[in-house]
Amino acid sequence: MPHSLEPRFTSTIPSIHDDTTLDFRIYHPDILTRPSLSDEGVYKQWKKKGIVVAHPYAPMGGSYDDRVVRIVLDEFLRAGWIVGTFNFRYIFSG
């Protein structure tokens, strides 16, 4: 069964220095919400691994919706990892 690339949790973290916020998303593999049986009839276990995926250079248009980020996100979810993504904070003056 294919998994969803929709985040399970989305929020922001406020800056302690200014009014800029950091947007972040948390994704988790289907094994945490839809347990499935292995070929031996035993429920598959979550691998208890996680990763944070950063996007390409923000001033050039990178964001956590970037195509490359989505590909990496998809592969780690398939491998059973929890994945965190965030949008870098930057001030674009151009």
What's the number of domains the chain is made of?
A: 1
Residue 14 lies in a domain: no
Residue 92 counted as domain residue: yes
User: Is 4 inside a domain boundary?
Assistant: no
Percent above pLDDT 70 for the chain = 84
Distance of alpha carbon 14 from its chain centroid, rounded? Answer: 19
Query: Bigger pLDDT: 48 or 34?
Result: 48
Q: Provide the pLDDT for residue 74.
A: 92
pLDDT of the residue at 90: 57
> Is 15 contained in some domain?
no
Whether 18 maps to a domain, the answer reads no
State the amino acid at position 94 in one-letter form.
G
| CA separation for the pair 19, 16 (Å, rounded) | 8
Structure token pair of residue 61: 């248009």
* pLDDT tens-digit readout, 43-57: 777 778 999 998 877
Average pLDDT, the chain: 79
Burial of 60 (0-12, 13-18, 19+ CB in 10 A): exposed
Q: What is the pTM of this model?
A: 0.73
Residue 11 forms part of a structural domain: no
State the residue range of the domain holding 65: 28-94
Q: How far is the C-alpha of 45 from the C-alpha of 56, rounded, in Å?
A: 32
Question: Which tokens hold the place of 38?
Answer: 């292995």
